[in-house]
Amino acid sequence: MGGDEGWDLDYYLHENPDLKRAPYAFLTDFIGMLPMRDDRTSTEYQRCWEKNAENVDHLRRHPDVRDLSIMVGDEEDVLDQEFGTDLPNMREWARTHFRFAGYPLHFDPRACADRAALRRRLGYRDDERVILVSVGGTRAGRHLLQKCATAFATLAGRLPDTRMILVAGPRLESIEVPPGARIELKPFVPNLFEHHAAADLAIVQGGLSTTMELAALRTPFLYFPLRNHFEQQLHVARRLSRLGAGLRLDFDATTAEALGAIIADRLGRPASWAPVRADGTERAATLLAGLLEAR
Amino acid sequence: MRAREPDRTGHATAGGVRLYWEEHGQGDRTLLLIPPWQIVDSRSWKMQIPYLSRHARVVTYDPAGCGRSDRPATGYDHDRMAEHALAVMDAVGAERVSLVCLSRSAWIGVILAATHPARVERLALTAVALDDRPIVGQSFLAPRERYEGWEKYNAHYWRAHYRDFVEFFMGQLFTEPHSTKAWEDGVAWGLEVDPETLIATVREWRGRHTLAEILPRVQVPTLILHGTDDHVRPFALAERTHAAIKGSRLVALEGSGHGPQLRDPVRINRLLRDFLEPGRAPARTWRRAMARPRRALVVSSPIGLGHSLRDVSIARELRALVPDLEIHWLAQDPVTRVLQARGETIHPASRLLSGESAHIESEAGEHELHVFQAWREMDEILLANFMVLHDLLEAEPYDLVIGDEAWEVDYYLHENPEVKRTPFAWLTDFVGWLPMDRDPASREARVAADYNAEMIEQVERFPRVRDLALFVGSPADIVEGTFGPGLPAIRDWTAAHYQFPGYVLPFDPDAFADREALRARLGFRPDERVVLAAVGGTAVGQHLLRKVVAAAPVLRRRVDGLRLVVVTGPRIDPATLPPTPGVEYRAFVPDLYAHLAACDLAIVQGGLSTCMELTAAGRPFLYFPLRNHFEQSFHVPHRLARYGAGVRLDYAATDADALAQAAADALARPAASRPVERDGARRAARLIAPLLDGARR
């Protein structure tokens, strides 16, 4: 069995280890439930503490449940701080309980290397600049789309030969596009990663997959971690800052005008960060294969 | 030996025919296990009887025509056979039974279920041979031009070439790979029947009922088990039976042949028990997983006491590493004596185990034990003991099973990986069944290679079964050569699949470094030259002891100050050895190694533990590998040669003079063997501990 952040499977197997009938591999891209505020008296802190303590206990008491724990990332992607009061340091604990696979991309970035051809295929002209805004599948993205549209309208005059594409998903109807702006609304684009590879600037939320995709493609991007989303706020942001990829922005603190200025500044500026290793999928598969073949 | 002897036996009589029956176990429920066609008798249920009889009264019998029942010239029709089954039920006083049928005895089952519904509670049909088509006819009775394949199913052929038919038929029965043992059993059983009787059972293969008429009349709960790779009776027969018996349940055994009760006994036993014992109540208590005490169960082979001694050392180290660990032992005599002497906890289910030591002794000759064959003959004991462990682990959660040469645990877990519910650490001190017959074309060599191939396939197919595999020793202790033609080199493969804690001594040799004090404690005077003969935990060694005792007068002449001490071990009564002046007998001594460390010369068999303890103590010793014992003949001498320890002698070729000469020579020469590693138990425990404690990963 494999469980990619299969928390249900992982929890109940540890609570009922005698039900386990097959080798089990657990995968995750973050370690540690973290409170958004470091107030040790808060209920949120205590809830996180309890969850982390339970997880640590589970693995100590029933080490046989997980035949393999894979961290989708590197050691340095785990925060170097304790899980909570009297609990282990997350990075040290991860070092002894996890194998690190690096980040697995779901595509081969080399396939997007010929950017000119890719742009032609996607209908992006050589002499235009494309800003791609996409917000994943949740409702939370509508406000970001709207803010981007407003920001772009304010500066469209200053940026000739530039258009913005909003991949809006089912929220298409609710976005107000200012008249005259070079903004296209699309419900969906197949192979978003190709658009990300071809675009001149991307604006996204703080989800790990999308931001890591952009980091690997070396496309400049702005990202807005969701408020109170500890994974986006803490774990993902830490990873990206380690890579030096993307510019983190706070949704509430960034006005449409400010966003416009940032867009103008970042548009077309080449990636400054080091290339991202692209062998995570292979490394994870090699680790998993070890469970299926004799050692 | 059998895994279990019957509690009661007797004969039923039906129409003047005497039928031998056996009763095993007790309970409110009675299960009647009916053998199939007369080519085999009630031993075909040998893998089911020990298990099912722990849960119910199990009755089985030899049908007319085979086994210990009469073999009339005629009277083998279905209806007569069904009357015989009723006669057995009456004889054992069973008013109502559940019937467990195999192949042809399915006819008996459906006839009784349809015509005597009050006497049949449930009906289990395995590898059903329910077919109206007459097998008898010209094809069976008339001579043929040739006899290829199933054409051997012919009366003329049987009269002339009965063995060849039986071998062919058993080959069709067991279609699963690695079926050598089941095939050998089947052939041996088949040859106990005479062809004329068997011809009569085929010629009279008929009855009053047709299937179309009888099957719809079966009203009792019915379970049908049938292999999809059955070459004797196609799976379609089971499907037809299932369709005709309303409410019946059919379980397809994918990849199984016509003898699943022998080849897949764990699954069959489970299926039968679940079906025959419906509505079993769940356990009365259940403890939350995170609140359970940390527990390990050790299954230690009783064949060679050295296993249990080293396991006790490992257990001690393990408890030091995992302080809250409780260790229980599933063990049998004589291991239990070692454990009791050390205050270890023996699990009460241990009393359910079938005796392996007694079996091994029963297979031994004069200083001779074909241990590979003896082990193969132990298959029903091993399965019975695996089922004890299986039930135990189902009822009580453990965190780890440690199996030291617990072959049954390793083998049946690989065969049934889905029943594994506990991490498993496997220990052994040798890898590779090596044939004594070095001709690679010999049957023994081919069978040994087949066992090795099966083991390799199991380990490579289900790497999860052994969470840890420890070779008690170092890579250099692994013998050279291959597992068999076309198979890997033993050393390379073992090095890749095992971890090596080094040799595990059951004691710290430093504790015995002060030999003077030790000798004083054991009553050995400084001026005496103590020659100690010891033969381990089974009674197999009694012949070597007799040889040593017989050589006592010559030894006395050759060795000044001789004191000859004979340790008989837990399973040899000193009273059975000849009282001889100057020979001192000691029965089982729990700290044999103290004696070994204190003596001037030891005379022993070729068992690994004793030889290695002598090596560690730096004592000279003569060792006599048991004849035909591949482990003592190949694996142990290889290791001892590496340490430069011991003098190997051949039992048959060594008379009293030669023995005395070798003893005198060895006493005159200082022992100069390489030191034995002392931290093996600790290293083994360090490797095992992470399976118990995630904080130690």
Please, are residues A257 and A154 in contact by the beta-carbon 8 Å criterion? Answer: yes
Q: How far is CA B618 from CA B282, B474, B599, B693, in A?
A: 56, 19, 10, 37
Average pLDDT score over residue span A172-195:
83
Per the structure block, which two tokens stand in for B461?
């197919």
Backbone phi and psi for residue B650, each to the nearest 5 degrees, phi listed first:
-100, 130
Residue B148 lies in a domain: no
Residue B81 lies in a domain: yes
Question: Which domain-ending residue is among B276, B298, B325?
Answer: B276
Please determine, for residue A295, whether its predicted confidence score (pLDDT) is greater than 60: no
Burial A184-218 (b: 16+ CB within 10 A, else e): ebeeeeeebbbbbbbbbbbbbbbbbbbbbbbbbbb
What one-character-per-residue DSSP string does A75-103 give? GGGS-SSBSSTTS-BHHHHHHHH-EE--P
Q: Which long-range contacts (CB under 8 A, 24 or more apart) does A250-257 make?
A: A250/A224, A250/A225, A251/A143, A251/A144, A251/A147, A251/A224, A251/A226, A251/A227, A252/A227, A254/A147, A254/A224, A256/A147, A256/A150, A256/A151, A256/A154, A257/A151, A257/A154
Other CB atoms within 10 A of residue B301 CB? 24
Interface probe for A, chosen from B286, B392, B399, B456 (most Cβ of A below 10 Å), is B399
Please determine, for residue B22, whether its predicted confidence score (pLDDT) is greater than 90: yes
Residues 39-98 of A with CB under 8 A from B: 57-64, 67, 96-97
B621 and B497 within one domain? no
Cβ–Cβ contact A16 with B under 8 A: yes
Q: Are residues A63 and B421, on separate chains, in Cβ contact within 8 Å? A: no
Calpha distance B39→B198 (Å, rounded): 7
Per DSSP, B10 falls in state: E
Per DSSP, B60 falls in state: E
**Which pLDDT does position B16 carry in this prediction?**
96
Cα of A57 to nearest chain B Cα, Å: 8
Per the structure block, which two tokens stand in for A73?
């990332």
**Residue for token digits 């006790």?**
B312
What one-character-per-residue DSSP string does B512-578 give? G--HHHHHHHHT--TT-EEEEEE--SSGGGHHHHHHHHHTHHHHHHHSTTEEEEEE--TTS-GGGSP
Round to the nearest angstrom and report the end-to-end CA distance of chain B: 44
B605 and B651 within one domain? yes
B333 and B260 within one domain? no
Cβ–Cβ contact B690 with A under 8 A: yes
| Model confidence band, residue B345 (pLDDT cutoffs 50, 70, 90) | very high
**Which pLDDT does position A171 carry in this prediction?**
66
**Which pLDDT does position A294 carry in this prediction?**
63
Cβ–Cβ contact A289 with B under 8 A: no
B387 and B261 within one domain? no
Chain A hits for B421, Cβ within 8 Å: 17-18, 20-21
Calpha distance B429→B304 (Å, rounded): 12
Burial (CB count <10 Å: 0-12, 13-18, 19+), residue A51: middle
Per residue in A190-218, pLDDT tens? 888 999 999 999 999 999 999 999 999 99
- Count of residues for chain B? 697
Please determine, for residue B683, whether its predicted confidence score (pLDDT) is greater than 80: yes
| Model confidence band, residue B232 (pLDDT cutoffs 50, 70, 90) | very high
| Model confidence band, residue B136 (pLDDT cutoffs 50, 70, 90) | low
Residue B555 lies in a domain: yes
**Which pLDDT does position A142 carry in this prediction?**
85
B403 and B321 within one domain? yes
Q: What interhelical angle do B680-692 and B306-321 show, nearest 10? A: 60
Give the nearest partner residue to B694 out of A60, A290, A292, using CB atoms.
A60
Residue B366 lies in a domain: yes
Interface probe for B, chosen from A18, A21, A67, A293 (most Cβ of B below 10 Å), is A18
Please determine, for residue A22, whether its predicted confidence score (pLDDT) is greater than 80: yes
Q: What is the CA radius of gyration of chain B?
A: 28
Average pLDDT score over residue span B133-156:
85
Cβ–Cβ contact B254 with A under 8 A: no
Computed over every residue of chain B, the mean pLDDT equals: 94
Enter the ipTM.
0.77
Residue B81 CA, distance from chain mean position: 33
Residue B257 lies in a domain: yes
Cβ–Cβ contact A163 with B under 8 A: no
Per DSSP, B32 falls in state: E
Which chain B residue has its CA at the smallest distance from A65's CA? B423
Average pLDDT score over residue span A106-124:
88
B76 and B14 within one domain? yes
**Which pLDDT does position A36 carry in this prediction?**
84
B559 and B446 within one domain? no
Q: Alpha helices of chain A — where are they, by DSSP H?
A: 7-15, 43-61, 90-97, 115-122, 141-155, 192-198, 208-217, 230, 237-243, 256-266, 280-292
Q: Are residues B397 and A17, on separate chains, in Cβ contact within 8 Å? A: yes
Average pLDDT score over residue span B164-186:
97
* B468: three-class secondary structure by DSSP: strand
**Residue for token digits 């379970």?**
B223
Average pLDDT score over residue span A221-247:
91
Chain B hits for A294, Cβ within 8 Å: 459-461, 463, 497
CATH number for the A109-266 domain, one of 3.40.190.10, 3.40.50.2000, 3.50.50.60, 2.40.170.20?
Answer: 3.40.50.2000
B390 and B244 within one domain? no
Q: CA A219, A223, A228: angle at the middle one, nearest 5?
A: 155
Calpha distance B154→B354 (Å, rounded): 41
B605 and B555 within one domain? yes
What one-character-per-residue DSSP string does A234-279 give? IIIHHHHHHHT-SEE--TTT--HHHHHHHHHHHTTPPP-SPPPP--
| Model confidence band, residue A138 (pLDDT cutoffs 50, 70, 90) | low
B216 and B115 within one domain? yes
* B224: three-class secondary structure by DSSP: strand
**Which pLDDT does position B572 carry in this prediction?**
86
**Residue for token digits 């001026």?**
B527
Q: Are residues A63 and B397, on separate chains, in Cβ contact within 8 Å? A: no
Q: Are residues B418 and A292, on separate chains, in Cβ contact within 8 Å? A: no
Domain of residue B630: give its range: 513-668
Chain B hits for A295, Cβ within 8 Å: 463, 496-497
Please, are residues B339 and B307 in contact by the beta-carbon 8 Å criterion? Answer: no
B518 and B498 within one domain? no
Other CB atoms within 10 A of residue A6 CB? 17
**Which pLDDT does position A1 carry in this prediction?**
79
Across A257-261, B149-153, B508-512, least confident range: B508-512
- Cβ neighbors of B389 (< 8 A, separation 6 or more) are B297, B299, B330, B349, B401, B408, B409
Other CB atoms within 10 A of residue B416 CB? 18
- Cβ neighbors of A144 (< 8 A, separation 6 or more) are A133, A135, A203, A205, A224, A251
Please, are residues B21 and B60 in contact by the beta-carbon 8 Å criterion? Answer: yes
Average pLDDT score over residue span A22-28:
93
Calpha distance B335→B301 (Å, rounded): 8
Q: Are residues B290 and A18, on separate chains, in Cβ contact within 8 Å? A: no
**What amino acid occupies position B424?**
F
Burial (CB count <10 Å: 0-12, 13-18, 19+), residue A126: exposed
* B495: three-class secondary structure by DSSP: helix
Question: Which domain-ending residue is among B231, B247, B276?
Answer: B276
Across B109-113, B145-149, B653-657, B669-673, least confident range: B669-673
Q: How many domains does chain B have?
A: 3
Chain B hits for A15, Cβ within 8 Å: 288-290
Q: Are residues B467 and A64, on separate chains, in Cβ contact within 8 Å? A: yes
Cβ–Cβ contact A257 with B under 8 A: no
B541 and B395 within one domain? no
Computed over every residue of chain A, the mean pLDDT equals: 90
Cβ–Cβ contact A18 with B under 8 A: yes
Burial (CB count <10 Å: 0-12, 13-18, 19+), residue B653: exposed
Chain A hits for B695, Cβ within 8 Å: 60
For residues A112 and B410, the model is more confident at B410
Residue B20's nearest CA partner among B76, B68, B58, B57 is: B68
Domain parsing of chain A, residue ranges: 2-102+279-292, 109-266
Please determine, for residue B399, whether its predicted confidence score (pLDDT) is greater than 90: yes
Interface probe for B, chosen from A58, A59, A64 (most Cβ of B below 10 Å), is A64
| Model confidence band, residue B282 (pLDDT cutoffs 50, 70, 90) | confident
Residue B609's nearest CA partner among B547, B512, B686, B537 is: B537
Cβ–Cβ contact B115 with A under 8 A: no
Average pLDDT score over residue span B623-642:
96
Across B93-97, B370-374, B473-477, least confident range: B370-374
Calpha distance B3→B77 (Å, rounded): 33
**Residue for token digits 């690679």?**
B440
**Which pLDDT does position A177 carry in this prediction?**
80
**Which pLDDT does position A258 carry in this prediction?**
94
Per DSSP, B594 falls in state: H
**Which pLDDT does position B216 carry in this prediction?**
97
Q: What is the CATH number of the domain that holds B45?
A: 3.40.50.1820
Give the nearest partner residue to B464 out of A23, A60, A63, using CB atoms.
A23
For residues A181 and A48, the model is more confident at A48
pTM of this prediction exceeds 0.80: yes
Residue B616 lies in a domain: yes
Q: Where are the beta strands (DSSP E) in B182-304?
A: 222-227, 249-253, 295-300
Please determine, for residue B385, whether its predicted confidence score (pLDDT) is greater than 80: yes
Chain B hits for A21, Cβ within 8 Å: 418, 420-421
Chain B hits for A57, Cβ within 8 Å: 290
Chain B hits for A88, Cβ within 8 Å: none
Of all residues in chain B, the percent with pLDDT exceeding 70 is: 99
